[in-house]
Structures are given as C-alpha cells and as structure tokens.
Amino acid sequence: MRSFLTHIFGSSERRARTDRLLKAISAQARQPVFYEELGVPDTLDGRFDLMALHGFLVFRALRGKGRDGRTLAQDTTDLMFSAFDDAIRSLGVGDMGVPRRVKTMAKAYIGRSAAYDAAIDSGDMAAVEEVLDRNVYRAGEPPAGALGPLAAYVLKEAGRLKELPLERFQAGDLAFGDVRDGRSGP
C-alpha cells in the first residue's frame, strides 16, 4: 500500500502535506456554525457542498503559489475525491454505483468552482450571495440573515488565503476565520 501511495503522491512528506491540508479543509467544513446557525443542511449533500466550498477556496489560493502550490492542490483534490468515494461506499452504495456518483460529484465540484471563481472575481457581494444560495442551499430557503455573513466570509477567506505563504498550506495551518465575524448583532 505504501508503494502505491508513494507512486501516486511521491514522498511520504508529500503525502503528509496532502493529509494535513485535507484535514484542515475538512475540519473547517465541519464547523457546527455552518449547520446550526447558517442552516446549511446537515446531510450528505450539505457536507459535500461545504467541503467543495472550502476546498475551492484553498485550491484557488494555491493556484498562485507556483508549481508546488498547484501540485499540492491537485494531490489534495485527488485525496478529497478518494475520501468522497470511501464515504459513498460506507453508506452501502454498491461497487457499480460508486463511480457514477463520484463522477457526478466531480462535475458538481467543477461547476461550483467556476461559479465561485466568477463571483469572487467580480467582488460583488450580491453575486457571491446568489452563487452560495444556488450551490450551498440548493434553492432551499436559507435562514434569514445567513447569506450575507456567509458571502462576507467567503470573500474575506479568499483574500486571506491568497496572502498565506505556501508553507502554511503544507503544514495544514490555515487558521480559517469565523463566519460569525460578518454577522451583526450579538
């Protein structure tokens, strides 16, 4: 198994960097505030949507970090989809259905990434809110006042992650902000 992973990810340190980064993305996507306060559905789809969003933010930042950044982004994307594959299998989906579901997830991720990229590049809060409404809440009704703080968080994190040095990504030390920072009130 080690030689297979070394073949895919290179050195054991390369694999360790990938593991650390995916753990940081996963930990942030699992923060209870997204589900409990912002009303993201605590379902397989809702969890996928938050993983996709946080993965996108990290991988977007890594695009500007040279070849090593792009390699880390690709390795982590591959590992993330391997984890999705494992999660689907653990739900009891048969071997024949798993590739189809992972392919559907990959297409959804690519579509969301393009939409998030365009909205963030526009710098338009309303565009970010709209893309989050469509992709995170999937045309459901987000709680009143949820889209603004989530959109502000996404814009802030996109800028903040862009400024982090590559070494922080390699260490899995992303120190995401708190989505509640953009919320008014207590």
Mean pLDDT of 5-18: 74
Q: 3-state DSSP helix/strand/coil percent for the chain, to nearest 5?
A: 75, 0, 25
Q: Which of 59, 67, 65 is nearest to 24 (CA)?
A: 59
More confident residue, 130 or 81: 130
Mean pLDDT of 64-80: 95
Tens-place pLDDT, residues 126-172: 999 999 999 999 867 899 999 999 999 999 999 999 999 999 999 99
Contact 81, 59 (CB under 8 A): no
CA 4 – CA 63 distance, rounded (Å)? 26
* Token pair listed for 161: 């992650």
Residue 152 is predicted with a pLDDT of 95
Residues in the chain: 186
Contact 182, 153 (CB under 8 A): yes
pTM value is: 0.87
Residue 141 is predicted with a pLDDT of 86
Contact 80, 55 (CB under 8 A): yes
- Judge whether residue 120 has pLDDT over 60: yes
Mean pLDDT of 75-88: 82
Residue 1 is predicted with a pLDDT of 45
Q: How confident is the model at residue 2 (pLDDT cuts 50, 70, 90)?
A: very low
Q: Which residues contact 131 (CB under 8 A, 6 or more apart)?
A: 115, 116, 118, 119
- Between the ranges 12-16, 39-43, 125-129, where is the mean pLDDT highest? 125-129
- Judge whether residue 97 has pLDDT over 80: no
